[in-house]
Structure 1
């Protein structure tokens, strides 16, 4: 009994809290996708589980595109560095590759949206300005549709984009039909301003179907069930004019010159490099998101798995690799491994931040981790329960971190619940404080009632006493300047005042009383109509 009593405090501390408990979060006791609801905003955001935290982490915003079976309303999303919601939008539906990019000196939020068949996409690329309005929609040329995997804006004002096209192919060398069908992996470089295609490359012009590691299964027999033998999933361009692409199903990174000729291959069959790290720099498989840097270094997200049943590694890794093009050698400089040893069998990303850290999104698993460049874990967060990581019920194709200034043109939101008033402003990044203002009418004579610091996405005021019949909130920046006003809230009715307010008159009251009288008489008539025949029937039976 003493042992049981002694263990009670520890047991109690492990019980699920109504507010939060990290252990039970990842065990799934709060659901696959624990979320936060708001009073002044009608969408729910993920409740992030912070497993590791360091002041050395970059303070920038986090860019995600949560989707999956447990995400009711998918779309692009911005969180702050601590996991609080900054912006989310559902009107675009599923989004991929959501992040800030610079075009002609202006910052934009870019992403793909369209139809996703689970492996490829058919859609367009969107560029939102700082007010979250669509500034441009970019599409490939030659009647092709944009794929979900890549939309990279170069310093020269061009865009790199991945594309899939179904074409006939001889699959007899891999046990398929001679007159078969494949998904060809393409990419284009477009001039964003003119829409002109400056460069196009096709995987089928260099890679044979027999080089693929992807299982053929029963695919490739018809155009409607083509075999994806290559699977292009990232495109980058160096200052030297070379293009660098990742092929998930070839297990290769390929360098392509401006003339369209392949310069070299890293990984896969017949790699052109000698691996000086005992295979660790070139044995990546089913990988995603390669980026090439000066001095011939590159990053790769090494998935190490095709699906949850077919894997070639025990866990996924972010890789930082040094190439020596003179001696054609590859060396692993660092690898980035989740503290939970996540095996993400699809998607994922590696990003070097301005502060030198490495930020890794775990793709199919709802998590992201920030590392020191050397590989030490700094900040580790889950935006879904780890118990469901293998199912992919919550995922984000990539995850990025960076700076963003959002200035929405819509008004802040305000709502009342019981004795509190709640305020928020979806997408606004510069709000530091909120001021609650009150008035006895809506003619504009509002006076300040209370000021609070902005905390998280939604802040609140306690309504002490009788501040006024009508309330509104003013959003203030760091200098105390007003960035915007919410709509006016009728504090007694708990409703927003839409347009000029007109108080209720005696004529309105008389009319309402007349309507209520009619409704009462009608209700009474229906009761009599339904009850009286049954009473008459009972009297008849007595005789």
Structure 2
């Protein structure tokens, strides 16, 4: 039990008047993350003590405390954190975490990378990852380190996730408009939708193009434009590399379109992975 190693006096969580009962027990520590720290230990994040504990893997005893009322480290002012989530030791020896600061005076949350000197027992700020506008996340949150050194911050109770370079520069930010996400991750993903690609034939009297897209497909590298008397006998008349969501494939001058006009999606190896017929664009309404 946590009380064997961490006394209630380390808690920063105020005991509610109705709390501390069997029905409503007092959550003095609120453990929210455990991660490996080398071969012999774990890092344990405790939200309600604002502390990251290093535990011995065999005995489960506390080796040291980082943060909180009883910190074993002297922490620089700009590296102090509170009500944190998702503590991890990284390959370079730094420790990353999501610093909620949700019940303190900071007024904003952030991702943190800390340098921890276990000989001098000091901790200092390496990088902080912050959005363009201050954002306070009362609960949840995480920091994911990507293979190239960038990091992804999930903002917990706020419906955002952000990617930063290792130096803390914001690269992009996205929102899912509502709700919460305990943690947000960027992971490899591939998909070939069950529905066929969409294609639209657009003619303006002087030129013609087919616009091709395949919502949800991740493996499209290029498009073929084919035509013929029917789908089975259609032949290629043009191709174009995939560009963003929708790719324009100009119809070559002098090309004759058959009864069937369609597109075929190809992957990076040149294999056809999907196809569909082109629809004729509806005429623009007259003014």
The two structures have a TM-score, normalised by structure 2, of 0.76
CA distance in 2, matches of 1:427, 1:220: 53
Structure 1 residue 239 corresponds to structure 2 residue 38: yes
2:230 is equivalent to residue 437 of structure 1:
no
Contact (CA 8 Å) 2:144, 2:151: kept in 1 or not?
yes
CA positional deviation for 1:360 = 3.1
Match of 1:249 in 2: 48
Of the three residues 249, 271, 275, the one matched with 2:71 is: 271
Q: Give the direction of change, closer, same or farther, for the CA distance of 1:329–1:311 in structure 2 (3 Å limit).
A: closer
Aligned to 1:455: 243
Aligned mates of 2:133, 2:175 — CA distance in 1: 14
Q: Structure 2 residue aligned with 1:298, among 69, 73, 95?
A: 95
CA contact (8 A) 2:99 2:112 kept: yes
User: Helix, strand or coil: the match of 2:273?
Assistant: strand
- Residues 391-540 of structure 1 correspond to what in structure 2 (within 5 A)? 393-401=178-186, 404=188, 406=190, 408=191, 410-411=193-194, 413-415=196-198, 419=202, 422-424=212-214, 426-428=216-218, 430-442=219-231, 444-459=232-247, 467-479=257-269, 481-486=270-275, 488-489=276-277, 491=279
CA distance in 1, matches of 2:278, 2:114: 61
Cα distance in 1 between the residues matched to 2:164 and 2:42: 27
What is the count of residue pairs matched by the alignment? 269
In the other structure, the counterpart of 1:198 is: none
Alignment of 1:197-212 (within 5 A): 203=2, 205-212=4-11
Where in structure 1 are there 5+ consecutive unaligned residues?
1-201, 386-392, 495-543
| Pick aligned residue for 1:285 from 57, 65, 82 | 82
Q: Residue 164 of structure 2 corresponds to which residue in structure 1? A: 370
Task: Give, in whole Å, the separation in 2 of the partners of 1:254 and 1:229.
Answer: 15
Indicate conservation of the 8 Å contact 1:411/1:425, yes or no.
no
Q: Decide whether the 8 Å contact of 1:291 with 1:299 is kept in 2.
A: yes
- Bigger relative contact order, structure 1 or 2 (CA pairs below 8 A, ≥6 apart): 1
Aligned equivalents of 1:205, 1:427: Cα separation in 2: 53
Q: Quote how far apart the aligned CAs of 1:426 are.
A: 2.2
Contact kept, 8 Å, 2:37 with 2:89, in 1: the verdict is yes
Deviation at 1:292, TM superposition (A): 0.4
Q: Which residue of structure 2 lines up, in the alignment, with residue 25 of structure 1?
A: none
Mapped partners of 2:155, 2:149: distance in 1: 19
- Distance in 1, matches of 2:46 and 2:245, equals 39
Aligned counterparts of 1:490 and 1:293: Cα–Cα separation in 2: 51
Whole-angstrom CA distance in 2 between matches of 1:445 and 1:461: 20
Greater Rg over alpha carbons, structure: 1
- For the Cα contact (< 8 Å) 1:303–1:315, is it kept in 2? yes
Q: What is the deviation of 1:210?
A: 4.5
1:417 shift after superposition: 6.0
Aligned to 1:351: 144
Distance 1:228 1:459 in 2: 55
Instruction: Measure, in 1, the Cα distance between the counterparts of 2:2 and 2:256.
Output: 70
Q: Using the alignment, how far apart are the partners of 2:198 and 2:251 within structure 1?
A: 12
The partner residue of 2:13 within 200, 214, 227 is 214
Offset at residue 249 of structure 1 (A): 1.6
What do residues 465-494 of structure 1 show as CA deviations (whole Å, max 9, x unaligned)? Answer: 984444543222345x124123x44857x9
Q: For 1:249, what is the secondary structure of its paired residue?
A: helix
Distance (Å, rounded) in 1 between the aligned partners of 2:27 and 2:265: 51
Deviation of 1:235 after TM superposition, in Å, equals 2.0
Q: Secondary structure at the match of 2:63?
A: strand
Q: Paired residue for 2:116, among 323, 327, 346? A: 323
CA deviation after TM superposition for structure 1 residue 237, in Å:
0.6
Classify the secondary structure of the residue corresponding to 1:413.
coil
Change (3 A) 1:219 1:447: farther
Query: Whole-Å Cα distance in 2 between the matches of residues 222 and 463 of structure 1?
Result: 74
TM-superposed deviation, 1:255: 0.8
Q: Give yes or no for contact 1:342–1:365 (8 Å, CA) kept in 2.
A: no
Counterpart of 2:205?
Answer: none
Alignment TM-score, normalising by the size of structure 1: 0.43
Q: CA deviation at 1:290?
A: 1.2
